[in-house]
Amino acid sequence: MTDDAVPDLRASDADRERVAEILRDALAEGRLDMAEFEERLDATYQARTYGELAPITRDLPAGNGVAVPPVSLHKEPAPTEGWAGRIVGGEGSSTGAVAVMSGFQRKGRWTVPRKFTCFAFWGGGEIDLREADFADREVEINCIAIMGGMEVIVPPGVEVVVRGVGIMGGFDHREEGVPGDPGAPRVVVTGFAFWGGVGVERKETWAQRQRLKEERQRLKEERRREKLEREAGRRELDGSRHDLLGDLHGRHDPHRERRRGDTA
């Protein structure tokens, strides 16, 4: 493996945490404001390769001067263990869903079959795959929307292929072209939309959002504590300066010297 291949290697959670630590240090040192920090932290947790992580800290000191997290060039990363546990084989929890002037949802922990067919007429549906298991490495979501709409939500790391057709309607192709994690399932969205639409969106899992929320809360508390400490230090410094000035003023008060002479 050559050095040119490093940016294409998949980043691990530990790699993302190292970049997040650099961002936290930069925030504490005043190199980043809170808006910049949150924007870069979001990009960090969404990054899938070293090439995506590198620009996030390129303009920041990283201790050792290396923006890309260290990686051995003689060992392939192995982020596939989590996906392997979610490709369970067998049959799916359900093979389809129907919404006629109503709606449906498939979300939470469920098993996506090799082919899932859904139909919506004057209605809508949501197919959420973020917490789902998969019956096979490649699954097909066949969406038929007539004067209705559907939303397919996939987690980061899953490859998406959209083959649907829109007739006075549309299929969302924005998530195509993003490479998937090694060992991750491939989701193929097919079907057609007539006076309707099928959206495909990539979202973080609940655990990832919760981790980001906790990170922001922790940083908010740290900033509040640092502000209180600075204010306490400033008050202490002002008090010491006031005492010192008062002492110096007393030593050089001409009236005080004259009073001392009258007393003598």
Summarize pLDDT for 71-104 with one digit per residue, the tens. Answer: 433 333 444 447 888 898 888 888 999 999 999 9
pLDDT over 80 at 256, yes or no: no
pLDDT of residue 71: 42
pLDDT of residue 78: 41
Query: H helices within the chain, ranges in order?
Result: 13-28, 34-46, 50-53, 81-84, 206-251, 254-263
What are phi and psi for residue 76, nearest 5 degrees? -75, 140
Length of the chain: 264
Q: What is the torsion angle, in degrees rounded to the nearest 10, for the CA atoms of residue 222, residue 224, residue 230 and residue 236?
A: -120
pLDDT over 90 at 121, yes or no: yes
pLDDT over 60 at 142, yes or no: yes
* Amino acid at residue number 18: R
Q: DSSP class of residue 101?
A: S
* Amino acid at residue number 243: D
Model-wide pTM > 0.75: no
pLDDT of residue 253: 55
pLDDT over 50 at 203, yes or no: yes
Give the chain's end-to-end CA distance (angstroms, integer): 94
pLDDT digits (tens, 9 = 90+) for 170-193: 888 888 888 888 889 999 999 999
